[in-house]
Amino acid sequence: MWEEISGVVQGQDGWGYSGRVKNTCEEHKCSLRITDLRESDADQYQFRIITKSNKYFGQTGVKLYIRDPEVVVRRENSGLQLECLSRCPVPTSYIWFKNGRRVEHENSQYYSPGLLHTDRYSCALRGNEEFSSPSVYAPEFPSVSVNTSTEIEEGSSVTLTCSSDANPAANYTWYKKNGTLHLHLSSSEAQIVFSSTKSSDSGEYYCDAENELGRSTSKHISIKVQGLRFKVPEKHPPYLFDKSASTMNIIRLTLSVVMLIPLLLLTLWSRKKKTLSFTSEPSERVEMIELDSGLEFKNVSAVIAARTEDAEEQESMV
């Protein structure tokens, strides 16, 4: 019986081998076959013989390494070279894929392609084509993002991020466009951080993403740093207009004007009567009436009415 260090290799779901393992013993030779190999199958395996009286184990067993092949990219004087790297110690031939399609007549561990930015390359061991390596490719078109608005207040913190899908991972280079000048910034990280922005930080920024397979350049993003805005505090709260109070004030003003109109008309009428009186009897003696605070007024309206009748009689005679 074959045995994994962490447990017995049996066709049981609990160990994840169900339907994938087969023990074969013929002519005192036993073998273990594992299909649909997984990374979790990597371990050390031993063979155990169980008799009626005892159990026997192998001395060291065998170590199973599981690793998908990978493509290593190298740039040499002669150009670009790809290597299909595998830990499998058994000599084998290789298969190369370009954009998912097999490259004919290429079975060496090394491959030198004519590379385009859109090309993706992978490899596999012959006989295990379904277990191909991850693809390697040049950086895709990078994008630049900002963690805040592009209009920034002076003194605030801003982070610009350059992102691109690439394998191997891309290295980044930042540039700032100032008129016709393209300034190379010291940062080589995917992010560039301005902890306290200044007006001189305004401008257009872009980045390059580059690996051994190629380079791509992003579009520009414009950043504008504005000066600090000072707000003068109000000493008094703004006047709040009360609609009802305003209406009452208008009503009071209207009543005051209405009450003054009769008084004004009475004053004008009195002055007109006096003028008529002086023009009709210029030589007539004007009676002066002294008002004493102690006198008692009696029928003042009768006196005024009598004088009015005399004035009208005189007018009719004329």
Closest CA to 82 of 116, 112, 126: 112
Q: How far apart are CA 318 and CA 309, in angstroms?
A: 15
Q: How far apart are CA 19 and CA 25, in angstroms?
A: 18
**CA 293 to each of CA 26, 290, 303: distance values in angstroms, whole numbers, following the listed order:** 153, 10, 19
Q: Give the tens place of pLDDT for each residue, 55-89.
A: 777 667 788 776 678 899 988 776 788 999 887 76
Beta bridge partners of 172: 209
Least confident of 161-170, 252-261, 274-283: 274-283
Q: How far apart are CA 48 and CA 33, in angstroms?
A: 16
Closest CA to 2 of 52, 58, 63, 64: 58
Domain 143-226 class in CATH: mainly beta
Q: Is the pLDDT of residue 228 over 50?
A: yes
Q: Give the tens place of pLDDT for each residue, 164-182.
A: 999 999 999 999 987 666 7
Domain borders along the chain are 2-64, 70-137, 143-226
Q: Helix (H) and strand (E) counts for the chain?
A: 2, 23
Please give the radius of gyration of the chain, using alpha carbons only, rounded to the nearest integer.
54
Q: How far apart are CA 124 and CA 69, in angstroms?
A: 6
Same fold, 70-137 and 143-226: yes
Q: Give the tens place of pLDDT for each residue, 135-166.
A: 999 999 999 999 888 788 888 889 999 999 99
What's the whole-model pTM score?
Answer: 0.53
Q: Give the tens place of pLDDT for each residue, 192-212.
A: 888 888 888 888 999 999 998
Query: Do 207 and 183 contact (CB within 8 A), yes or no?
Result: no
Assign a CATH topology to domain 70-137. Immunoglobulin-like (2.60.40)
| Confidence at residue 289, expressed as pLDDT on a 0 to 100 scale | 43
Query: Do 197 and 159 contact (CB within 8 A), yes or no?
Result: no
Give the contacts of 93 (CB within 8 A, at least 6 positions apart). Answer: 107, 108, 125, 126
Mean pLDDT (whole number) for 18-31: 79
**What is 190-203 written as a DSSP string?**
SEEEESS--GGG-E
Structure tokens at 223: 């950043």
